[in-house]
Structure formats: C-alpha cells, structure tokens
Chains A and B, each alone.
Chain A
Amino acid sequence: MKRSSILWTIFLALILVAAAGAPCWAADPIRIAIIGPMQFTQGEGHWNGATMAAEQINKGGGISVGGAKRLVELIKVDSNEFLSIPDATNAMELAISRHRADFLIGGFRTEAVLVMQDIAMDNKKIFLGCGAAHPELCDRVTKNYDRYKYWFRITPINSKFLIKVDFLLLNMVAQVMQKELGIPKIKVAIVAEKAAWADPLVAVANENLPKMGMDIVGVWRPSPVATDATAELSAIQRAGANIIFTSFSSSVGIPFAKQAGELKVPAPLVGINVEAQKDGFWAATGGQGNYGLTISTYGPVKITEHTLPFFNEYRQRFKEAPNYTAGTYDAIDVLKAAIEKTGTLEADKLIPALEQTDLKGPAGRLAFSKDHDVVWGPGYTTGLGTQWQDGKNVVVWPYQWENITYEGTVPYKLPSWVMEHYKKK
C-alpha cells in the first residue's frame, strides 16, 4: 500500500511536470521587433501595419518554417528617435539583447537608422527598414556587402527616386500653371527642412531645376520642428515664387501649410509633406492645407488588388489613413515569403530568398535592387501624389504617366486663390 502510494505520487508529479512544460513542446513564435517612434504617428503607422499583417498571418495558422507552423509575435519597441538618437540605439540594443527578436522592422529618422543599422549588422540580424529614405543606408550594402547584407529597405523609396517623383509632381504642376495661367517661366522656391535626408534633395533640385526650364528664387531651410513660418513665407512671396517645392517629414509641414493657406500665398505647395499624408492634416491646419500636394505611398486607388482592401481596413480600424511607415505590413509579408521558401529563420540563408523577392503588396509590386533597396519605376512601386481637395485626400499622380493611371486617380487642381491672383494680373 505504502509502495503503491509512492508510485502514484511519482506518477502525478510526472504529469504535473509534463503539464508545466507543455508550452515548450509547442513551436516558439517568430519574434519580430517593430521599432519606431511609438508616441508619434510614424511609430503608430509602424505598429498598426505590422499588427494587421501579424493578425492575418496568425489567423491562417502562422508562418510555415520547414513544415511546422509558427505564430508571429510582435514586440513593440519605442525608439523615441524624434527626440533622442541615443534612445533609438538603446531601443535597438534592447530589441536584440533583451527581447531576443528574430527580426527587426522599422526605423524612421535617417540619423537614427544609420546607427540602428550598425547595431543590427553587428548582431547579424535582418533589419527591414520602413521609414528612412537616405541613399547611404543602401549604399552601405554595395560598399560592404558582407557586413550590411542583412539590411533591406521596404519603404519609402530611396530619396534619389523620391526626387524623381518630386520632379514629376513639380513638372505636372508647372505644366498646369503654364497651360492654365500662361506663366512663361516658372519660378520655384525650394523649402526643405534642415535634416540629413533632405540634403541630397536640395542639391539635386539646385542642379536640375534650371535644366527643367525653371528658375530658383531661393532655398529656405527651416528647422524640422519650427512652429512658425511667416518670415519664410514673407520672403518667398517677395521673391516672386510661382511654386513652393517642399521637403518636410516633421511637424514644420503643418504650420508651413497652415500659414501659407491663411496668407493665400499665390504659389501652390508641391513636394514632400509627410504630415499632409495623414487624415489629421485637414483638422490640424483648420482646412488651410487645402490643395497641398505631397508624395505618398498609399491612397484610395487600385495600385494592385491588395491596395484598396488594405487601405480601407486600415482606415476603418485605426480611424486614420495609412502613412508610409505602415509598410511594416509589406515587410512582414516579404519576410513570410522568404521564410516559407527557405524553411529557416537563419539570417544568412534567408538573404538570397529576400533578394529574389517579387510580390504584389498594397504599395505595388515589391522587389529589391542589388543594394537591397526597394525597386522604383513603372511596373514596380511608383509612389503616389496625393492632394487635399476640399477636405478629401485624393490621388492625382501617376496621371497618364508612362501609361499609368491607377483606378480612382483624379486630375490635379490649382488652388483657387492662385488662379485668382494670376488671372487678376
């Protein structure tokens, strides 16, 4: 009797130990760190895009790794990179060493991402960039492939291509102004926030605008966080600019657009204004941001069959249109495809598969160039030009460009006060 009770005790203990250890039998989830300025819209975009992708994948059972399905576990890491670059490096260290992330996705400010990239490369972790546009991030792959091969840029397009799209938008508006208002030679004011990503943009604009038959009346470099732009706007008007060519990724985009609208500056805003990509821009400018044209990644048009379902679900769920950092959605899909193709999570084995990526996502057809940069051009990711037209953010570009006009695109509209100003003249 005594012996049988001992046996029972041992048996029960074994069951308890087995039950406690049960989670160890299930496959570990794939841990993906989403790194971004989480207190800001850009970080929210990172997190929301990734959340949508992870939930869709997990609903389908997870990612198949060598035949075994593994769920995706997202780790939210706040880089606080708008306010502190050291915080961003700490966040990256935290994601790798403490959270033991298998993959890293995100980043926004080039100045921060350059450092974050080095930390990821030191640890041989795949880092999919979803925010910084500077060419140097991918140039590093060409210069030192063995070290930087773990880096891939998903979004946005390289600032060299952003410049191309920028010029295409500028050219489109210049042509409209020449045609509708009879301005023989367009004068352009370049206004770019003082940040590393905008430096090459300013240099190329200075070189190429005269070749495009336009005069440059001046270059203004306000602080990215400037709260007032009236002095700059006064000077721009006095310089006689017909178009204001903007490069803003930070908060300065709001007061600039707001004050330009309030003062009815007779020069449309064209270029990059990340704040103008968001639904909140209209309210933040009190409607004064009307007619602002900016490069965007997502819009209510059919770029691929995935665009509208993604765009509408995102907007319905998060009460906000996706900005380009929501490209984390694509990043996870790209990663899933590579993992399922190779059947492994090992970074070195995944890289060839990632290099051969060719899939359709909400932003277009996604593939990588030799320097691990997202390919831009007709047939691939093109980017969009979106304009605020009376409270609605609509897509106005590509419009009959290289035979591309996405379904739902509408023509560009000049601001009413610009029309009045030149017609009075």
Chain B
Amino acid sequence: MIQDIIINGLINGSIYALLAIGFSLIFGVARLVNIAHTAFYMACAYLIHVGFSYWGLSMPLAIVLSIGLTTIIGLICYRLFIKPIREYEAAVLIATIALGMVFQEVMLIAFKGHMMGVPPVATGFVIVGGVKVANQHLLVLGVAVLTLLATWFLLMKTRVGLAIRCTAQDSEIANLMGMNVDREIMIAVIVSVVLAGVAGAIVVPLRVIDPHMWLPPLIMMLAVVVLGGLGSVKGSFVASYILGFTEAAVAIGVPMGSFLKGSVALSIMIIVLLIRPEGLFGIAFEEER
C-alpha cells in the first residue's frame, strides 16, 4: 500500500509541478495571476489531437508543433489582453479568467462536449516495487524532472535567468540598472506557456480531452502555488508533491471517499495557510523581497 501511495503520489505531483511552476514563474516575475495558464495546457492538448487524429501527423511532430503553436497563441494573448493592463493585478486576474472561458467556449463550439483522447507515446507498463506503472506515467515523471531541472538551470545559471530573477525581485530597480523589463517578462511568459504546453503534451494521452479539462488542474495548481508560497518556484515544487501524495493516499487508503481526494488536498492547503499564511516558501511582506 505504501508503495502504491509513493508511486502514484510521485506521478500526480509531477503533473501538478509542471503546471504550477510555469504559473509561479510568471507570477514571481511579472506579478501576473494568469488563470488562463491551464487553458494553454488544454489548447496544447487539443492541438495535438487535431495534429495527430485529423491531420495524420506523427505523435512527436504533433507534440512539437503544438507546443510551438501554443506558445505563439500565449504570446498573442499576452500582447493583446494582458500587457495593456499588466499594472493592474485585479484586472489581469479577471481578464485571464475571461480568457480561459473564451478558450473553453471556442473548444466547445469547435469540438462540442465530446470526450476525446490520443494514444500514449510510450505504451505498456513496468512493475516498480510491486506496483504496475504505465510507461507513459514514467515518461511524465522523467519529463517533469527534466523540465524542472532545465527551468532551474535557466533561472540560476544563465544571464537571462539572472535578469528574470532581478526583475522578479524589483522590476523598477532592474529597469534603472538598464535591464529590459518588458523583454524579461516576455521571456518569462514564453517559458511559462511552454511549460503549460509540455504539461498538456505529456499528460494528454493519460487524460480525456474535453472543453472543461482546464478547470480541475487549475484548482489544484492554484492550491499548489498558494501552499508553496505565491511566486516561489521551489515552494510550488514541494507543494505539488505534498498534494500529489495526499491525493494518492486518500484514493488508496479511503476507497469509499476517493471522490474526496481533491477536497482533502485542498483542506491540507487551508490548514497550512492557517499556520503559515504566506505559504511554505512564501514571503510574508512585500518589503522582504
């Protein structure tokens, strides 16, 4: 039973981590609460479906093209809807909710409420610690770890990453020091949307594609970033696995209550916030930044 919880928790956590880190990054850098983040995840999933099922592209090509197209869509959305109101956090929040709804309605019109799917990139399964794990799940785990390492490398070991971190710390000072804040934010948006696209690409064979698929991960992603501390990439990473393990423990340990797995995970978030309102790795006051 413990092995089941560990393995399933790792898989759940990795999926949440991929989504939450992109969201956290864009919040940390530009203070943008991008509710439409999981809508990009959905857009990428639909694009892969269209590429693979309608246009007959190979799966790897469909994935690469879809991530590219999703990034372009993300950039267009940023330039048209978010950048003009970037300074107003509440307006951004509302605008991105609206954007997510627009994505949902577009998908609903284009594909109706039909449940669709694509075949996995990696078929079959392996047995790890007596637990059957689908190869696609292992792929998710591997890609999540690689993506997270790449993000860490970008942020911590490159000049672009340094600039992004400077902008995250204090955009005005960064600007005064001659950094192009707009460009850094744009790069953060690109990285964030690419991460959403990657999450969509590797998770889509495991899930059902439908116009509402962006909502359940959105709730969990928000829970992850709040639990980890808004804007803290490290916090999001840790919180993803806390919620992932909690969900697995509920589904496996309390079978009759497996529908409550999301609720229990959210309850843990509330308990942590009662003890530590800024989240696990958050900053209590803006002055601390």
Contact = CB atoms under 8 A, between A and B. Distances in A.
Interface in B69-108: 108
B212 interface: yes
A405 interface: no
Nearest to B108: A39
A58 B131 CA distance: 59
Interface in B219-277: 247-248, 251-252, 255-259, 261-262
Contacts of B123: 262
B205 A286 contact: yes
B208 A40 contact: no
Interface size class of A (residues with CB under 8 A): 35 or more
A275 interface: yes
B204 to A, nearest CB: 11
B157 interface: no
Interface in A214-262: 218-223, 225-228, 230-232, 234-235, 237-238, 251, 254-255, 258-259, 262
A7 B131 CA distance: 96
A255 B114 contact: no
Contacts of B278: none
A391 interface: no
Contacts of A228: 12, 206-207
A231 B247 contact: yes
Contacts of A220: 251, 255-256, 258
B258 A275 contact: no
A222 B257 CA distance: 7
Given A251-B210, A255-B207, A283 B116 contact: yes
B11 to A, nearest CB: 7
Contact of B117 (A221, A222, A231, A283): A283
Contacts of A251: 115, 208, 210
Given A221-B259, A230-B137, A235-B4, A254 B117 contact: yes
B154 interface: no
B134 A230 contact: yes
Contacts of A300: none
A286 B112 contact: no
Interface size class of B (residues with CB under 8 A): 35 or more
A160 interface: no
A41 interface: yes
Contacts of A139: none
A231 B8 contact: yes
B273 to A, nearest CB: 24
B7 A234 contact: yes
A20 interface: no
A231 B136 CA distance: 15
A40 B208 CA distance: 14
B208 A254 contact: yes
Given A230-B8, A238-B1, A284-B116, A221 B257 contact: yes
A235 B117 contact: no
Contacts of A219: 255-256
Contacts of A44: 112
B262 A223 contact: yes
A386 interface: no
Interface centre among B117, B205, B252 (most CB of A within 10 A): B117
Contact of A262 (B5, B116, B136, B248): B136
A45 to B, nearest CB: 12
A378 interface: no
A338 to B, nearest CB: 33
Contacts of B207: 227-228, 255
A27 interface: no
A194 B259 contact: yes
A220 B256 CA distance: 5
B134 A262 contact: yes
Contact of B11 (A82, A230, A264, A285): A230
B51 interface: no
A179 to B, nearest CB: 27
A370 B3 CA distance: 54
A228 B132 CA distance: 15
Nearest to A255: B208
Contact of B8 (A234, A275, A283): A234
Given A194-B259, A255-B208, A263 B112 contact: no
5 contacts: A223-B258, A226-B258, A231-B5, A231-B261, A283-B53
Given A231-B5, A262-B124, 20 more contacts: A40-B112, A41-B112, A41-B113, A218-B255, A221-B258, A227-B216, A230-B8, A230-B11, A232-B258, A237-B132, A238-B1, A254-B117, A255-B206, A258-B117, A259-B134, A262-B123, A263-B132, A283-B117, A286-B118, A287-B119
Interface of B: 1, 4-5, 7-8, 11-12, 53, 108, 112-120, 123-125, 131-132, 134, 136-137, 205-208, 210-213, 216, 247-248, 251-252, 255-259, 261-262
Q: Which 6 A-B pairs have the closest CB atoms?
A: A231-B251, A40-B113, A286-B119, A194-B259, A234-B4, A223-B259
